[in-house]
């Protein structure tokens, strides 16, 4: 099976994660890797994480890594689902990393000859936030989404549980 890169982008609770999971399972010859990027921040986030774990059940091998993408992905033999890049960007900003470091990390991942599926929140349809950190997050997310989409074989926009291929 030829390696592929795919991006599932959409709003929060649009169904992109579930559709990305189905896609990853379909494009993996063996049990795929679920690279979970979310850090345990509070009780509400813990509940969201538990819901995602139940959704994917035992169909994936889970790796939890909030900051490094290239290193764990480069070691895998099966398809990798990165869930999600929005939380990864959040983590990177929180830990003091900037756009240049994020771009370098993603470019290295995109250059790998591996099947990698990315999930990313579409934050470009809202208003300009009133604080600098939120504006920085949106700017970085938008620039990185363009980088990823241009390098992916397939891009899907998800709304109301329906993923439509746009590339």
CATH number at residue 122: 3.40.50.300
DSSP secondary structure, 10-72, as one string: E-TTSSHHHHHHHHHHHT-SSPPEEEE-----SHHHHHHHHHHHHHHTTSSEEEE-SS--HHH
Distance between CA atoms of residues 88 and 143, nearest Å: 14
What pLDDT is recorded for position 47?
Answer: 74
Q: Which residues are catalytic?
A: 52
Q: Which residues of the chain have pLDDT under 70?
A: 1, 40, 42, 45, 48-49, 52-53, 55-57
- Report the predicted TM-score, pTM, of the whole model to 2 decimal places: 0.91
Residue 37 main-chain phi, psi, to 5 deg? -100, -10
Cα distance between residue 100 and residue 57, in whole Å: 35
Nearest to 59 by CA among 84, 28, 16: 28
For 96, counting Cβ atoms within 10 Å of its Cβ (0-12 exposed, 13-18 middle, 19+ buried), the class is exposed
How high is the pLDDT of residue 39?
Answer: 72
User: Domain residues for 57?
Assistant: 5-165
The total domain count for the chain is: 1
Tokens of 88: 């990864």
- CA distances to 6, 18, 121 from 90, in Å: 21, 21, 12
pLDDT recorded at residue 56: 64
Predicted confidence (pLDDT) per residue in 88-98, tens digit:
999 999 999 99
């Amino acid at each position: 099976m030829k390696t592929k890169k795919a991006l599932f982008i959409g709003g929060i609770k649009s169904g992109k994660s579930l559709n990305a999971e189905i896609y990853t399972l379909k494009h993996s010859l063996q049990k795929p890797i679920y690279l979970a990027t979310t850090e345990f921040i509070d009780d509400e986030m813990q509940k969201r994480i538990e819901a995602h774990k139940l959704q994917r059940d035992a169909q994936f091998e889970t790796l939890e890594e909030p900051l490094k993408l290239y290193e764990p992905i480069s070691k895998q033999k099966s398809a990798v689902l990165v869930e999600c890049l929005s939380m990864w960007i959040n983590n990177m900003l929180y830990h003091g990393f900037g756009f240049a470091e994020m771009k370098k990390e993603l470019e290295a991942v995109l250059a790998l000859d591996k099947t990698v599926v990315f999930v990313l929140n579409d934050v470009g349809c809202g208003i300009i936030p009133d604080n600098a950190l939120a504006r920085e997050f949106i700017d970085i997310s938008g620039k990185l989404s363009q980088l990823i989409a241009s390098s992916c074989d397939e891009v899907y926009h998800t709304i109301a549980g329906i993923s439509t291929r746009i590339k």
